[in-house]
């Protein structure tokens, strides 16, 4: 009886040791992974900082101004070029009603005025 218990305890001990080893090993691996990722993050951050610095350098208004003078025909904006929205003219009326399937047909229909019959047409028909 006692021997059986002893054997069982030894078995459990071995299993526990193996389990502990496994845990310890995987935790070490994960710690290494964490350290690696940390390093990577720091490198990325440094790279981002360097790129942002470079971007800011390229974005420097002094440089942009020189480039714009050399390559563009644009000129500084003047006060008279601003206007308020309520002074915009009305939007022209839509000739083609929205949602038509045949926009060209609608356009022709709009051009042909049904009420006004030109005087010449029936006359010409009468003369023939």
The site for other proteins (CB under 8 A) is made up of 27, 31, 34-35, 45-46, 49-50, 52-57, 59-62, 65, 76-80, 82, 84
Evaluate whether 106 touches 96 at the Cβ level (below 8 Å): yes
Q: What is the CA radius of gyration of the chain?
A: 42
Q: Which sign, positive or negative, has the C-alpha torsion 85, 86, 89, 91?
A: positive
If the CB atoms of residues 22 and 59 are measured against other proteins, the closer one turns out to be 59
If the CB atoms of residues 76 and 114 are measured against other proteins, the closer one turns out to be 76
If the CB atoms of residues 56 and 121 are measured against other proteins, the closer one turns out to be 56
Q: CA-CA-CA-CA torsion for 12, 18, 22, 23, nearest 10 degrees? A: 40
Smallest distance, Å, CB 77 to other proteins? 5
Smallest distance, Å, CB 24 to other proteins? 8
């Amino acid at each position: 009886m006692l021997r059986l218990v002893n054997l069982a305890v030894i078995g459990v001990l071995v299993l526990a040791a193996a389990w502990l080893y496994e845990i310890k090993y995987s935790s070490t691996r994960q710690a290494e992974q964490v350290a690696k990722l940390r390093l990577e993050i720091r490198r990325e951050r440094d790279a981002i900082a360097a790129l942002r610095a470079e971007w800011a350098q390229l974005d420097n208004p002094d440089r942009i101004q020189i480039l714009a003078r050399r390559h563009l025909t644009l000129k500084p904006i003047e006060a008279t070029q601003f206007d308020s929205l309520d002074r915009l003219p009305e939007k022209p009326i839509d000739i083609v009603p929205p949602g038509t399937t045949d926009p060209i047909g609608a356009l022709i229909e709009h051009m042909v005025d049904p009420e006004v019959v030109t005087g010449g047409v029936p006359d010409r028909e009468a003369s023939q």
